[in-house]
Each structure stands twice: as C-alpha cells, then as structure tokens.
Amino acid sequence: MPVVETRNLTKVFKEGELGAVNDVNLETREGEFLVFLGPSGSGKTTLLRMIAGLEEPTAGEILIGGRVVNDLSPRERRIAMVFQSYALYPHLTVYKNIAFPLKAQNVKKELHKEKVEWAASLLGIGALLHRKPRELSGGERQRVALARAIVREPSVFLLDEPLSNLDAKLRASAREELELFHRRVGTTTIYVTHDQVEAMAMGDRVVVLDQGVVRQIGTPREVYDEPADTFVATFLGSPPMNLVEMGDFIIGFRPEHFRVAETIRDSPKVAFDLHVQNVEYLGAEYILSGSLAGRRLDGKKVIARLLLGQSFEIGKTHQFAVPEQHLKFFDRSTGKRIEPRTLEWQ
C-alpha cells in the first residue's frame, strides 16, 4: 500500500500574501487513517486538494508511493476523493455514478457490473442502483460517493469533510460506518475535518493545522495529552485546556484534571483557590467556571469539569488542585511546549 508524502509543500494564492499552506512535511503510514484537523482557513482543504492534483503547489513536492507526482493529473495519481458536497453526477443513476470511474479509466465493460455490485454491497446500497441522486437521503448520497471512490480500488482515499452535510444524529452513525469501512478495506486514507471529536475518534494519527502550518502530528492521545503548543492545547478538548500566564511561562491544565484538592491523595499536587462564578449541570458532569484567588494568580479565569456527587455554591471559594504530572508548561513568547519546572506558586 503506497504512502503519501509531502516535502516543504507550499501554496500561495496571491503573491506577497501569507501562504494558505506553508512548508508542510508529512508522511502517511501504510493503511493509516490520517486526519487533517484545523479551524476553517487553516489550509487543510488546500493541502488535500494539492495531494489530489486539483490545486497546483507553489513550491515543494508531493510523493505517492515514492514517486513525485507534482506533474501528474489527478487521474494518473490513482487516488479517489470524496467531496464535502459528494459531487454526485445528478443526471446519472447510482449505478452509472459508481461505474463512471471504471468507464473513464477504460476498465473492460464486462467487469463493470461485477465491480459496481461489489462496491454497492460493501456500502449496503445495492437496492438503490437504479435511483437518481436527488431521490436519495444525505446518508445514502454519502455512501454512493464512497462506493464511487472505492470501485476502482484506489491506492489512497481522500475525504474532504464528508460528514459535515449530515445532521447530528446521522453523523455519529456515519462516522462509525466510515471507521468500520476503513478497517475492512484498509486503504490509506486522508480525512479532512474541523471537528475535533471526529479527528480523535477516527484518526490513527492527527495532523493539527493552523494558518497553513503544521502545529503537531501525533496519535489522538499524543495531541491531547502532550500538545506541542498553546494552539493545539486549546483547539483540542471541550472545554479547552486552561491556560494561565505566569512570568515567562504559560501553565496549562485540562478542566478534568482541575479537581477538588482533597480528592487528589496519591500524587504530588499544586493547590489553587477557586472562586466559583458559574455552574452548568450537563447530566453526567458539572462544568464550573470561575477565577483563581491568591496573590500571583488572582483573577485568572479557569474552567473545571467534575463528575456528579459534589455540590458547589456560586460565589464561594473552594480549595482546588491539579496533580503535578498533568501540568503543562509553555514558553510565553513562542507558545511552544517546554520542560516542566518548579515554580513559586503563591
């Protein structure tokens, strides 16, 4: 299974302006599900479109299976792509939509029926083959788009926010289906999303992008637990990581690690006074927001996420703490993560 690699890949749309994608180096692993995660305008879709061959890079190289493909057309790259809008051909039936790549790549006509039926059954749309795209629901269209992508057995799958047009309920089940589908076919997949939940749930590894720059590449656990900088720290996690400025440093800790002091017994901890300003009850948990009290940190806004079983009054001050191993340190000027150090807390 060939891998996709980019070397110093850059895209500048308007000369003199900041690039949409800047100097991106990354490499997929065989059969991997790689997610490009970033806010809108972070360059993730542009990056994907360059890999697909729909956008020409300003600088840098794209390699598929070890071969530079910069000058190859999309069809010669042997990739398949699913668009955000699915881009089904509205005048063709589902069967003809799925058969189109076979026809376009001059696959023998006798094989079409068999291959289309194989792809359709893989996605459970065998009963829809005679319908037109406008007669399908959002979820069904997505499956047709996937079937059209899989039918010619591509070496790489590119998916551009394929779930964002589905309603919330459908999205969860479609996500699960996509995961199962990937496990079954095992094709190297690059998936673009702005939804961190999708990225964490589906990705073998996540590439976090911001303003065209790769901020971090790692497994979901790595980018969540060991964020490379303050952007990654706050972009992943809901509510995001608390960041508190202290001298030359920024101290970060996740809301779920910010707990009532007396419940942390078995590890060294750093204690804070929390002045509770708001409590949100979310069924399985409480979200507490408030400000720290005490000399150096007085007035800093923080959020805590607590399980049920404790009660807090708005306006009161409580003893909270963070286990020492969960404190993250960032350089204040660059925002980059640095080694933990001992600090004068109060």
Partner 1 sequence: MAVRRAKVKSMGAAQDPALGTAMFAPAALYILLLIGVPFFLAMYYAFSDARIGNTDLHFVGLENFRSILQSPSFRSAVKNSIVFTLASQIIVIICSTILSTALENKFRGRGVIRYLILLPWVAPIALGAIAWKWILDSIYSVITWVLVWLHIFKPYGAPMWLGEPHLAMASVILVHCWRLIPFSTVIMLAGQTAIPREIPEAAAIDGAGFWRTLFQIKIPMMTSIISVAVLFGTIFTFTDMTVVYILTAGGPYDSTQTLPSLAFATGIQGSDLAAGAAISLFLVPVLVVIAYLMLRVAHRAEAT
- The residues of the shown chain that bind partner 1, judged by CB under 8 A, are 52-54, 73-75, 79-81, 83-85, 87, 89-92, 100-101, 104-105, 134, 148, 152
Shortest CB 74 distance to partner 1, Å: 5
Instruction: Tell me whether residue 26 or residue 92 sits nearer to partner 1 (CB atom).
Output: 92
**Which residues on neighbouring strands pair with residue 158, listed in sequence order?**
81, 190
Shortest CB 143 distance to partner 1, Å: 15
DSSP states along 277-340: EEEEE-SSEEEEEEEEESTTTTT-EEEEEEESS----TT-EEEEEEEGGG-EEEETTT-BEE--
Residue with tokens 């990654």: 232
Residue with tokens 């291959």: 115
Shortest CB 134 distance to partner 1, Å: 7
Shortest CB 121 distance to partner 1, Å: 20
Round to whole Å and give the CA distance between 17 and 252: 33
Cβ neighbour number for residue 52 with a 10 Å cutoff:
19
- For residues 273-286, one letter each, b for 16 or more C-beta atoms within 10 angstroms of the residue's C-beta and e for the rest, the string is bbbbeebeeeeeeb
Shortest CB 145 distance to partner 1, Å: 8
Instruction: Tell me whether residue 91 or residue 113 sits nearer to partner 1 (CB atom).
Output: 91
Shortest CB 115 distance to partner 1, Å: 13
Instruction: Tell me whether residue 6 or residue 97 sits nearer to partner 1 (CB atom).
Output: 97
Using alpha carbons, select from 240, 170, 196, 156 the residue that is nearest to residue 44.
196
CB 144 within 8 Å of CB 94: yes
CA distances from 116 to 77, 102, 109, 246 (A): 21, 9, 11, 61
End-to-end CA distance of the chain: 55
Instruction: Tell me whether residue 47 or residue 81 sits nearer to partner 1 (CB atom).
Output: 81
Shortest CB 5 distance to partner 1, Å: 19
Shortest CB 150 distance to partner 1, Å: 12
What order do you get walking across the sheet with 4-11 strand by strand?
21-27, 4-11, 59-64, 67-68
Instruction: Tell me whether residue 153 or residue 280 sits nearer to partner 1 (CB atom).
Output: 153
Round to whole Å and give the CA distance between 22 and 193: 19
Instruction: Tell me whether residue 38 or residue 53 sits nearer to partner 1 (CB atom).
Output: 53
Give the list of residues 6+ apart from residue 297 with CB closer than 8 angstroms, or none. 244, 246, 272, 345
Instruction: Tell me whether residue 148 or residue 254 sits nearer to partner 1 (CB atom).
Output: 148
Instruction: Tell me whether residue 16 or residue 90 sits nearer to partner 1 (CB atom).
Output: 90
